[in-house]
C-alpha cells in the first residue's frame, strides 16, 4: 500500500486496534503504546501489505506485542479495576459508570480471569466481530482449531461468571 | 455443568455454539436444538447464559484512540519520511552545488546512491532538468 492508503488504513482501524490492545492488556497506557507500535510497524511494512489486509495485519501485530508485554508482566502485580477510570479520564468523561456499564463490569471481570488466548478469541470475535478466516490469520491458527478454541473460551467465560457467583 | 452430559445434550450444546457463531460452514438443525431445549432445563439455562455472555461482549465499546497518540504515529511515520526525503533532497542539491561539477550534476547515479531505489530519480530522462524529482512511493 502507498502512503495515502496507509493513512486511510490507520484512520479506519485505529480505534479497533487500540480497543483490542486495551482490553487484552487491561491497561489503557500500554494499550496505546501497543497500538502505536503496530501502526508504526505497518508503515515500515506497508509495501508488503494490501489495504484489505491492513486490519488483520494490525491486529495480529498488536496481539503479538500484547503477548510480549503480558509475558514481561508476570512478576508485576496488575492494577485491575483502575482501567475503566483511566479510560474515562483519558477521554475526558468523568462518568466512569457509563464506561463500565457499556463494557459490562461483570464481563470485564470475567475476561480478566481468562487466559490471554481466550481473551483474544472473545475480543476478536465478539467485540470486534472479526470473521473466522481473518481471526485464523490474525492468530495464526487453523480454522478448525480456532472454532473449537472459541467455543471453549466462551464456555470458560460463562463459567468465570458463574464461579464468581454472578449470573450472566 | 460439571456433571456428565448425555449425547443429546452434547449435540445440542455443539449446535448452540454454532448458532451463536452464525457460522454458515456449520450446519445447525434449529428444530432439533429447540426440541431438546424444551425438554432439558440445563441446556436451556446454558443457552440463555451463553447468549447473555455474547450480548454483553458485543455491547463493549470501541474505545477512541487518543488524538495525541495518533499525532505521534504520524510523526513517527509519514512526517518522518517527508523530513528524511527533504533532507536527502537538500543534501543532494547541496552536494551538487558545492562540487560545481556539471558533469556529475547531470548524472542520475548520485541521488540513487543517497537513498533507496525509487525514492529519487535523477533529472536525465525522467525530469529533464537535472535536479532530483520526487516520486510517490
Query: Measured between CB atoms, does B24 come within 8 Å of chain A?
Result: no
Whether B50 sits inside 8 A of A154 (CB atoms) is yes
Nearest CA in chain B to A130: B21
User: Average pLDDT in the A86-109 region?
Assistant: 53
Distance from CA of B136 to the nearest CA of A (A): 8
- State the pLDDT at residue B100: 59
User: Average pLDDT in the B66-78 region?
Assistant: 94
- Please, are residues A5 and B137 in contact by the beta-carbon 8 Å criterion? no
The CA distance from B24 to B26, in Å, is 5
Query: Measured between CB atoms, does B20 come within 8 Å of chain A?
Result: yes
* A-contacting residues in B 114-133 (Cβ below 8 Å): none
- State the pLDDT at residue B84: 77
Q: What is the residue-averaged pLDDT of chain B?
A: 70
Q: In which element (H, E) is residue A12 found? A: helix A3-25
* Better pLDDT: B50 or B61: B50
User: Average pLDDT in the B15-29 region?
Assistant: 76
User: Average pLDDT in the B21-45 region?
Assistant: 82
Query: Measured between CB atoms, does A8 come within 8 Å of chain B?
Result: no
Q: Which of A7, A104, A159 sits opposite B60 (nearest CB)?
A: A104
Least confident of A117-131, A154-168, B56-70, B72-86: A154-168
How far is CA B91 from each of CA A39, A134, B123, B124, rounded to the nearest angstrom? 29, 45, 16, 19
Reported as a single tens digit per residue, the pLDDT across A10-50 is 999 999 999 999 988 888 899 999 999 999 999 999 999 99
Residue A71 φ/ψ region, left for φ over 0, alpha for ψ in the -120 to 50 degree band, beta for the rest: alpha
Amino acid at each position: 500500500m502507498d502512503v495515502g492508503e496507509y493513512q486511510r488504513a490507520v484512520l479506519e482501524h485505529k480505534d479497533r486496534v487500540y480497543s483490542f490492545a486495551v482490553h487484552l492488556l487491561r491497561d489503557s497506557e500500554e494499550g496505546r503504546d501497543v497500538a502505536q507500535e503496530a501502526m508504526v510497524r505497518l508503515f515500515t511494512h506497508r509495501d508488503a501489505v494490501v489495504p484489505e489486509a491492513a486490519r488483520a495485519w494490525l491486529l495480529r501485530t498488536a496481539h503479538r506485542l500484547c503477548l510480549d508485554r503480558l509475558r514481561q508482566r508476570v512478576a508485576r502485580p496488575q492494577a485491575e479495576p483502575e482501567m475503566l477510570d483511566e479510560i474515562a479520564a483519558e477521554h475526558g468523561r468523568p462518568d466512569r459508570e457509563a464506561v463500565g456499564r457499556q463494557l459490562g463490569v461483570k464481563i470485564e471481570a470475567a475476561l480478566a480471569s481468562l487466559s490471554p488466548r481466550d481473551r483474544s478469541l472473545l475480543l476478536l470475535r465478539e467485540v470486534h466481530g472479526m470473521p473466522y478466516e481473518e481471526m485464523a490469520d490474525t492468530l495464526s491458527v487453523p480454522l478448525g482449531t480456532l472454532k473449537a478454541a472459541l467455543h471453549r473460551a466462551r464456555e470458560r467465560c460463562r463459567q468465570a461468571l458463574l464461579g464468581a457467583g454472578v449470573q450472566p | 455443568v460439571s456433571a456428565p452430559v448425555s449425547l443429546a445434550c452434547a449435540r445440542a450444546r455443539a449446535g448452540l455454539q454454532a448458532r451463536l457463531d452464525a457460522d454458515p460452514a456449520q450446519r445447525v438443525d434449529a428444530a432439533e436444538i429447540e426440541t431438546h431445549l424444551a425438554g432439558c432445563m440445563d441446556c436451556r439455562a446454558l443457552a440463555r447464559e451463553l447468549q447473555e455472555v455474547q450480548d454483553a461482549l458485543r455491547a463493549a465499546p470501541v474505545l477512541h484512540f487518543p488524538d495525541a497518540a495518533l499525532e505521534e504515529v504520524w510523526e513517527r511515520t509519514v512526517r518522518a519520511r517527508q523530513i528524511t526525503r527533504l533532507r536527502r533532497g537538500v543534501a543532494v542539491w547541496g552536494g551538487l552545488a558545492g562540487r560545481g561539477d556539471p558533469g556529475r550534476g547531470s548524472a542520475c547515479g548520485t541521488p540513487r546512491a543517497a537513498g533507496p531505489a525509487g525514492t529519487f530519480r535523477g533529472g536525465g530522462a525522467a525530469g529533464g532538468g537535472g535536479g532530483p524529482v520526487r516520486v510517490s512511493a
